[in-house]
């Protein structure tokens, strides 16, 4: 299954499943390494996706169609 086609929420669920499997300690070393590698790839993809989303929501489109960085005023 290609991870990049999964929704963010599905990636998190898959990551949680892998973590649970690794925590049980009931899998051999090779499977552990494979699952760890997959988990790290999922973490990387989720991080990239969150950064992209953050960029999108920090831009505000003005009435004239230009974008402006979004800043909260205190």
**What does the H/E/C string look like for 40-65?**
HHHHHHHHHHHHHHHHHHCEEECCCC
In the predicted model, what is the mean pLDDT of residues 50-58?
Answer: 85
Q: pLDDT at position 68, please?
A: 74
Q: What is the pTM of this model?
A: 0.72
pLDDT grade, residue 1 (50/70/90)? very low
Which one of 1.10.287, 2.20.25, 3.40.50, 1.10.3470 gives the CATH number of domain 3-69? 1.10.287
Q: Which helix (H) or strand (E) holds 61?
A: strand 59-61
Residues in Cβ contact with 46 at an 8 Å cutoff, skipping those fewer than 6 apart: 8, 11, 12, 15
Q: pLDDT at position 57, please?
A: 80
Could you state, in order of their start, the residue ranges of all structural domains in the chain? 3-69
Q: pLDDT at position 37, please?
A: 97
State yes or no: pLDDT of 74 exceeds 80: no
């Amino acid at each position: 299954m290609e991870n990049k086609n999964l929704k963010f929420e599905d990636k998190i669920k898959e990551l949680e499943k892998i973590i649970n499997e690794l925590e049980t300690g009931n899998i051999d070393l090779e499977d552990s390494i494979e699952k760890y590698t997959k988990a790290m790839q999922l973490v990387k993809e989720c991080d990239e996706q969150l950064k992209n989303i953050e960029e999108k929501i920090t831009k505000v489109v003005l009435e004239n169609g230009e974008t402006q960085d979004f800043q909260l005023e205190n």
